Amino acid sequence: MTGPLLSVRGLSVNFRTPQGIVRALGNVSIQAGAGEVVGIVGESGCGKSTLAAAVGNLLPGNAEIAAGEIRFRDRDILRLGSDAQRQLRGREIAMVFQDPMTAFSPVLTIGEQLIEFQHQMTDVDKAEKRRRAEAMLARVGISDAGLRLNGYPHEMSGGMRQRTAIAAALLMSPSLLIADEPTTALDVTLEAQIIYLLRTLRRDYNGAIVVVSHHLGVIAELCDRVYVMYAGEVVESAPVDALFHQARHPYTRALLECDPARLDQPAEFLPTIAGEIPDLTVLPDGCSFAPRCALADDRCRIRPELTSLSEDHAARCHRVSP
Amino acid sequence: MSSAIDPRQLAAGAEPRPNAGPLRRALASPMGAFGLTIVAIIVILALFAGLLAPYDPLKIDVVHKLEGPSAAHWIGTDNLGRDTLSRIFYGARVALGVACVSIGLAMIAGLLLGLVAGYGPRWLDGILVLFFDSMSALPMIMFALAVITVLGPGTGTLILVIALVSIPGYGRLVRAQTLGLKRSDFIVAERSLDAGPARIILVHLLPNVVGPLIILASMDIPVVIMLEAGLSFLGLGVRPPTPSWGSILYDGYNALRSSTTLVIAGGLPLVLATLGFTFLGEALRDGLDPKLQRRGLR
Amino acid sequence: MNTLLGIANLSVSFPLSSGLLDMFSADREWHLRVLEDISLDLGQGETLGLVGESGSGKTTLARAVLGLVPRSAGTITFDGEAIAGRSDRAFRTMRRKAAMMFQDPVASLSPRRKVGALLVEPHIIHGEPLIDRAEAAARLLALVGLPAAFADRYPHELSGGQARRVGVARALALNPKMVLADEPTAGLDVSVQGEILNLMARLKGEFGLSYIVVTHNLALIRHVSDRLAIMYLGRLVEVGATADIFRMPRHPYTRALLEAEPIPDPRRRRASLAIEGEIPSILNRPVGCEFHTRCAVARDRCRGQAPEFTRYAPGCAVRCHYPLE
């Protein structure tokens, strides 16, 4: 295999809504290589979850892919038939969501569901599937895994459910794991445990992990490389250290400044970004961040291209240069 | 802080967002438009039966009895020579009148009882639920027969029976809605401002339970129209000679050997009315939820 | 500093089931103990952060203060007067002088009422004179930086941030002395959560308010609170000045909470896990110290004997046999 495991190129996604066409993603390109944890960070409405859904083939019915390709192992998965896409999603691409309850049916036992998730493995019998499920539960840190298989989802606590959802995602040994806000619904002590779990898992897992989050702390703790999204576009991409210490795009900088966890000393007034996220039905012509940007000038009326700043650092801003 | 609001937001604030009424939204669907058209026609017929009907619906003309459609009588006459078209028009008035009055009464009673059961003390809730349950445990036709036997047949009795048997359905719906809303944040917020039970029930709960109630009621209208026709068919509803679709159907049934026109003339309005109200009710249900229209994008 | 709100030995418990059969059963002792023996003061002009994870009882405590959840024991003193009883009537004066902001700003606004009507409702409920409703609504909207035209909107037409502001305006309608804010920034993006907190800080100065801010967000509460109260399983485990607690937490749970917070700096990644396990069910409270099942430094005594809430300095207390030094 040449090239990265996952490569999204120039992806544009529109939603048809009663208010008009919403451009959820515009010309988004991301890559994730084997053994890499890639973070996608941004605020609500930036398109990060749409991107995750597009890769996972889970876009809602009113979405349409206007342009671009999603290449997985050098094949454009948008051009595959629906059967092949489904198969790919069951075997090679797995997802973990914010609300672990949505991953499970309330009326079946955990064991039945974890066995059913392996339905594509036709050469393995049920007892073996059950053994695999039990082993996977134990691996994500669930005690009494054998007993848990006989229980129902509602009998588990939130943290256990998220662990089980991760176990379910990893059952088929996928080469791409997409975690959409995996810790957002959890308390901070459980969030720390899930972060820790994902970190231990990646050690002996050589697929790619894509973590989508609005939480800068989660991204900093988990990721190798980060894409920052704003209004449906990638505005900056960089290795995690560079992003948190040498951010170049004004939005990334402002976002980092706003995080109260980054202020060492107690502050009486907290920094904010003035204005609101642009209405995605009527996007401004130029830079989408310009209306809120303190540095905006005349140049920003023209839409900036992604400028490469170094080998693996790029920002979509007129004011940056290598 | 105020500088944090950008001009685009202010512009949006000055100009209220488009918020079409539920009826407009209901009409946007073809089924809703179809339903509304039929319902409108029936309502117009009922309201202006006096102007629109070519003859007096009670005027007997034995010479021309059981005639087929003709220029004088567009859809013929019945066994007493009365003009069927006029009787159908007046029958619409009876059908709608009985349905609206009885459902209106049941709605008001169900609303009050349901709100009290849902928001009031627990013991009262227990009593009211027991009442709802025992009312709906009675077989409807048997109950209707019993009341009619005691009070005698007639439009008033009919309305009373229909209202009584409909109350538990509305009451239960309102109670369930109220129980769900009772613990919701905005009710707790009102309590934190020290709003009393009367204010909470009338100002904050009532407007939120009326929507589903209206939908249920509009779905009930065809049922009640059928019920009225059924009881009138059996001679237990509207008393002759007042025209009712049920009694037209009954007359047609008796005259079936000589003519099928009368049966069709009595049955067709029933079928159309049922369809029309059902379609409209379903479209209204979709249109009445104010949040539905804004749920375009997650 | 004068004490505005005093809570002493407050407990809240709910009967576990009240089905008909319970009336005939001999064992009626089944109670869900949601809050246990809470004693806490709020000074005039102070901002107190009430911190805990889900199920810690922090929201219930805020609601119990306003009598929205009936207390089963304990006393509440507000503005020099003890609240006698648990009825709505007993809380009437307090609800006039103290207001609440709710976690879900849109859901806490009555959905079929316009913003303008919602804003003047406190005046109507408390029979306060109101000459011009539209003007009063506009004044309140201006206070929180919203244009007067918002009075004609319905709650579902507001964004999260705008609904928050309406919540603040409504809370301030009757010039309260105290505002209880339940997760005031929940659901807001990082770039705008500061706006609400800055607004609250500005209004605190203008109106001489005291705040109780209920939150799970330690990174945020650090910047806005004078004192912190940490809750675990319905009990206070530590109370103290915010700066002191962040510098040196005394309770192992507080320290675990502080260390669990993800740090937005890849150079300071944590090597080890701060805390294991999950919060036990409130139906099945651990014997002894309730935190011992997850505590890294628990000893035998912690498994058998519940620690007292011990004051070690004025306004500082910790519930631990072996507080961290």
What the block records as the tokens of C82 is 């003890």
B195 close to C (CB below 8 A): yes
Question: Between chain A and chain C, how many beta carbons pairs sit less than 8 Å apart?
Answer: 127
pLDDT tens per residue across span B97-113: 899 999 999 999 999 99
Q: For residue C131, count other CB atoms closer than 10 A to its CB.
A: 6
Comparing CA positions, the residue from A186, A99, A197, A178 lying closest to residue A140 is A197
Percentage of chain B lying above the pLDDT 90 cut = 26
Locate the domains of chain C by residue range. 3-19+30-318
DSSP state of B83: B
**H or E, element range at B86:** helix B84-119
**H or E, element range at A16:** strand A6-17
Per-residue HEC secondary structure of chain C comes to: CCEEEEEEEEEEEEECCCCHHHHHCCCCCCEEEEEEEEEEEEECCCEEEEECCCCCCHHHHHHHHCCCCCCCEEEEEECCEECCCCCCCCCHHHHHHEEEECCCCCCCCCCCCCHHHHHHHHHHHCCCCCCCHHHHHHHHHHHCCCCHHHHHCCHHHCCHHHHHHHHHHHHCCCCCCEEEEECCCCCCCHHHHHHHHHHHHHHHHHHCCEEEEEECCHHHHHHHCCEEEEEECCEEEEEEEHHHHHHCCCCHHHHHHHHHCCCCCHHHCCCCCCCCCCCCCHHHCCCCCCCCCCCCCCCHHHHHCCCCCEEEECCEEECCCCCCC
Q: Measured between CB atoms, which of C63, C110, C202 is closest to B1?
A: C202
pLDDT tens per residue across span C41-58: 999 999 999 999 888 999
Locate the domains of chain A by residue range. 6-82+214-316
C264 close to A (CB below 8 A): yes
User: Which of C94, C112, C120, C204 would you mutate first to test chain B, the one with the most B CBs within 10 A?
Assistant: C112
Q: How far is A179 from chain C (nearest CA, A)?
A: 17
Q: Check CB contact under 8 Å for B9 and A276.
A: yes
Q: How far is C241 from chain B (nearest CA, A)?
A: 28
The confidence score (pLDDT) of residue B255 equals 81
* 3-class DSSP state of B298: coil
* Parallel/antiparallel/unpaired status of strands A20-32 and A6-17: antiparallel
Percentage of chain A lying above the pLDDT 70 cut = 99
Q: How far is C67 from chain B (nearest CA, A)?
A: 8
What the block records as the tokens of A141 is 């840190």
Q: What is the CATH number of the domain that holds B251?
A: 1.10.3720.10
Q: Check CB contact under 8 Å for B14 and C149.
A: yes
pLDDT tens per residue across span C76-127: 999 999 998 888 889 999 999 999 999 999 999 999 999 999 999 999 999 9
Per-residue HEC secondary structure of C34-90 comes to: EEEEEEEEEECCCEEEEECCCCCCHHHHHHHHCCCCCCCEEEEEECCEECCCCCCCC
Q: Measured between CB atoms, which of C66, C111, C145 is closest to B186?
A: C111
Give the long-range contacts of residues B124-132, CB within 8 A, separation 24 or more: B125/B175, B128/B171, B128/B175, B129/B175, B131/B168, B132/B167, B132/B168, B132/B171, B132/B172, B132/B175
What the block records as the tokens of A129 is 């599937």
Please say if the pLDDT value at position B167 is more than 50.
Answer: yes
Q: Check CB contact under 8 Å for B291 and C156.
A: yes
Please say if the pLDDT value at position B199 is more than 60.
Answer: yes
When the pLDDT of each residue in chain A is averaged and rounded to a whole number, the result is 90
Please say if the pLDDT value at position A130 is more than 60.
Answer: yes
CA angle A268, A274, A275 (to 5 degrees): 145
- Chains with at least 3 CB pairs less than 8 angstroms from chain C: A, B
Comparing CA positions, the residue from B219, B237, B222, B217 lying closest to residue B141 is B237
Comparing CA positions, the residue from B276, B247, B50 lying closest to residue B155 is B247
A42: confidence class by pLDDT, cuts 50, 70, 90? very high
B9 close to A (CB below 8 A): yes
CA angle B30, B31, B33 (to 5 degrees): 65
* Parallel/antiparallel/unpaired status of strands A93-96 and A176-180: parallel
For chain B, the domain total comes to: 1
Comparing CA positions, the residue from A155, A150, A140 lying closest to residue C281 is A155
pTM of the model: 0.83
The confidence score (pLDDT) of residue B26 equals 65
B19 close to A (CB below 8 A): no
Please say if the pLDDT value at position A108 is more than 70.
Answer: yes
pLDDT tens per residue across span B58-112: 777 778 777 777 877 777 787 777 888 888 888 888 888 899 999 999 999 999 9
The confidence score (pLDDT) of residue B119 equals 93
B2 close to A (CB below 8 A): no
- Percentages helix, strand, coil for chain B (3-state, rounded to 5) are 75, 0, 25
Residues of A in contact with C279 (CB under 8 A): 187, 189
Q: How far is C298 from chain A (nearest CA, A)?
A: 18
B21: confidence class by pLDDT, cuts 50, 70, 90? low
CB B49 within 8 A of CB B93: yes
Q: Check CB contact under 8 Å for C194 and A270.
A: yes
Please say if the pLDDT value at position C305 is more than 90.
Answer: yes
Where do runs of H (alpha helix) occur along chain A? Answer: 48-55, 82-91, 110-116, 126-139, 145-148, 158-170, 188-203, 216-222, 240-245, 250-258
Please say if the pLDDT value at position A12 is more than 50.
Answer: yes
C145 close to B (CB below 8 A): yes
B293 close to A (CB below 8 A): yes
CB C49 within 8 A of CB C197: no
Q: Which residue of B has its CA nearest to C196?
A: B1
C92 close to A (CB below 8 A): no
Comparing CA positions, the residue from A12, A39, A2, A18 lying closest to residue A208 is A39
Query: Rounded distance, CA B186 to CA B191, Å?
Result: 9
- Chains with at least 3 CB pairs less than 8 angstroms from chain B: A, C
Single-letter residue type at B196: G
Query: Rounded distance, CA B182 to CA C99, Å?
Result: 20
Residues with Cβ within 8 Å of C104's Cβ and at least 6 positions away in sequence, in order, are: B185, C186, C187
Asked if residue B62 belongs to a domain, the reply is yes
Please say if the pLDDT value at position B7 is more than 60.
Answer: no
The confidence score (pLDDT) of residue A91 equals 85
CB A14 within 8 A of CB A23: yes
The confidence score (pLDDT) of residue C272 equals 77
Which residues 117-136 of chain C have a CB within 8 Å of chain B? Answer: 121-122, 125-126
Domain that holds residue B190: 31-288
DSSP state of B102: H
Please say if the pLDDT value at position B1 is more than 60.
Answer: no
Q: Measured between CB atoms, which of C159, C190, C279 is closest to A259?
A: C190
Tokens 């002493």 belong to which residue?
Answer: C8
Q: Measured between CB atoms, which of A17, A19, A275 is closest to B6?
A: A275
The confidence score (pLDDT) of residue B254 equals 84
Q: How far is A267 from chain B (nearest CA, A)?
A: 16
Q: Check CB contact under 8 Å for C108 and B189.
A: yes
Q: What is the biggest distance separating any 2 CA atoms in chain B, rounded to whole angstroms?
A: 88
Tokens 């100065």 belong to which residue?
Answer: C205
Cα C123 to the chain's mean position, in Å? 25
Query: Rounded distance, CA C259 to CA C236, Å?
Result: 19
B22: confidence class by pLDDT, cuts 50, 70, 90? low
When the pLDDT of each residue in chain C is averaged and rounded to a whole number, the result is 90
C261 close to A (CB below 8 A): yes
Mean pLDDT of C211-230: 94
CB A322 within 8 A of CB A313: no
The confidence score (pLDDT) of residue B13 equals 34
The confidence score (pLDDT) of residue A2 equals 55
Per-residue HEC secondary structure of B226-241 comes to: HHHHHHHHCCCCCCCC
Burial B68-92 (b: 16+ CB within 10 A, else e): eeeeebebbbbbbbbbbbbbbbbbb
Comparing CA positions, the residue from A6, A48, A51 lying closest to residue A31 is A6
* CA distances, B59 to each of B54, B67, B96, C163 (Å): 11, 15, 22, 66
Residues of C in contact with A214 (CB under 8 A): 189-190
pLDDT tens per residue across span A265-285: 888 889 999 888 888 888 778
Q: Measured between CB atoms, which of B5, B9, B297 is closest to A22?
A: B297
Burial of A192 (0-12, 13-18, 19+ CB in 10 A): buried
pLDDT tens per residue across span A74-107: 889 988 888 888 888 878 999 998 887 778 888 9
Query: Rounded distance, CA A136 to CA A207, Å?
Result: 16
Q: Check CB contact under 8 Å for B193 and C95.
A: yes
Residues with Cβ within 8 Å of A110's Cβ and at least 6 positions away in sequence, in order, are: A104, A137, A148, A149, A150, A151, A152, A153, A156, A164
B278: confidence class by pLDDT, cuts 50, 70, 90? confident
Quote the CATH superfamily of domain A6-82+214-316.
P-loop containing nucleotide triphosphate hydrolases (3.40.50.300)
Residues of C in contact with B199 (CB under 8 A): 125
Q: Check CB contact under 8 Å for B6 and A276.
A: yes
C20: confidence class by pLDDT, cuts 50, 70, 90? low
Query: Rounded distance, CA A317 to CA B149, Å?
Result: 86
* CA distances, C131 to each of A21, C137, C146 (Å): 45, 11, 21
Please say if the pLDDT value at position B292 is more than 60.
Answer: no
CATH of domain C3-19+30-318: 3.40.50.300
